[in-house]
Amino acid sequence: MNKSKASMRDIASAAGVSVTTVWMVIHDKPGISPQTAEKVWSAINDLDYRPRKSGNNSQLNTVGLLIEQSSIPAISDVFYGDVIRGVQSEAERLGMRVVLSVFDRNKRGFDLNGLIHDVRGVVVANDGDLPAQTVLQLTALDIPIVLIESYIAAQDFPCVLGDNFIAGYQITRHILDLGHRDIAVLKGPSKYSSLVDRLRGCMAAMAEEHLLFPPEWMPEPMSGHPIKGYVQMQEILALDRRPTAVIAISDKTAIGAMDAIREAGLRIPEDIAIGSIDNTRESQFTRPPLTTVHIPKYEIGMLAMQKLNRIIMGEDTTAFKSVVYSELIVRESCGSPGRSLENPETPGNAG
């Protein structure tokens, strides 16, 4: 008669507690003393208990993490690795599971239906190649959604962002404060709203000094080229007049640009200073180490998961942007603040 595996009721009587208590122990709810939990767990072990129904309800607290294919293997990607870790660890804290789902830019019709049935919400990491239409489709189906490092103008989605505008402003301000006035910028594809915001921040800082980036010093990015920034930088170096400093819109772009600068036989930062935004792990190992703006990637992931959970729980009713603070990290690629171009002692402030 005891052929069928033990049930919660069996565990309860074996441990001398109520079924509810057993349930609470299994689901890690508050209000259980360590002793009781211990008793229950050992009873579960002794009787070899295995929940029956749990198969289907586990899907009920699973969320999807939609990510574009180019970032795969995403776990090790310079930017999204940290974001994913943040999402994952917050999900764990909330008792949720995360399923990774890759968006392939070549397959037009993305298989949303396969995803949405198993999932209570979706966080969309990065955009660019993920057409706004896909995102709208998700909301039409009433699936809660949170965007990461992207927003859609006039479409008020909940999202979590780095302070991209301020980051652009900060790095540009830093380079201006070092005395530079001939500054170029390596921008990114305009489909990434985060990169657009960064550029706008750069331009605002320049405008405060009544300066504009000359058009020839704002080359368009090569789409699809493996080494971002490399070709853009070459274009600038081929011009008659060369900038004394260049701002790269991302660390990756900066790294490509540094290659081009070195190949041209120029020194960093003596001939050309370079600064960027992201503070990815590799930025501290470039030669010279990159002056950049830290974007708290782990926190972005964490907050995104937290926000998604709150939307699912009905706690967040109005959509808003959550913006995490950025911080300028001064290393060596712009020269140190003590030694500006003309004035070795104090930061230059001419303008």
Binding footprint of DNA on the chain (CB under 7 A): 4, 7-9, 16-21, 23-24, 26-27, 30-33, 35-36, 49, 51-54, 57
Cβ proximity to its own copies, 94 vs 116, nearer residue: 94
SS3 of residue 119 by DSSP: coil
* Residue 242 touches its own copies, criterion: CB under 8 A: no
User: Which among DNA, its own copies, none contacts residue 222 (Cβ within 5 to 8 A by kind)?
Assistant: none
Is the previous residue joined to 144 through a cis bond, with omega within 30 degrees of 0? Answer: no
* 319 makes contact with its own copies (CB under 8 A): yes
Helix H or strand E segment including 41:
helix 34-47
- Applying CB under 8 A, does 299 fall inside the site for its own copies? yes
Which CB, 203 or 237, lies closer to its own copies? 203
Q: Please tell me the distance from the alpha carbon of residue 299 to that of residue 82, in angstroms, as a whole number.
A: 9
Which of the listed partners (DNA, its own copies, none) does 204 bind, with a CB threshold of 5 to 8 Å by partner kind? Answer: its own copies
In angstroms, rounded to a whole number, what is the distance separating the alpha carbons of residues 339 and 43?
A: 70
Q: Taking CB under 8 A as the rule, does residue 314 contact its own copies?
A: no
Q: Is 117 in the site for its own copies (CB under 8 A)?
A: no
127 binds its own copies (CB under 8 A): no
303 near its own copies (CB under 8 A) = yes
Written as one string, the DSSP assignment of 185-201 is EE---TT-HHHHHHHHH
* Residue 251 near residue 292, CB atoms below 8 Å: yes
Residue 204 interacts with its own copies (CB under 8 A): yes or no: yes
Interface residue with its own copies among 323, 330, 331, 347 (CB under 8 A) is: 323
Strand duo 62-68 + 97-103: pairing? parallel
Cβ-contact 318, 290 below 8 angstroms: no
Which of 213, 272, 278, 305 binds its own copies (CB under 8 A)? It is 213
Q: How far is CA 289 from each of CA 78, 269, 276, 324, 345, rounded to the nearest angstrom? A: 16, 10, 11, 24, 22
Compute the least distance from the CB of residue 98 to DNA, in Å: 20
When binding is defined by CB under 8 A, the residue of 9, 52, 321, 339 that contacts its own copies is 321
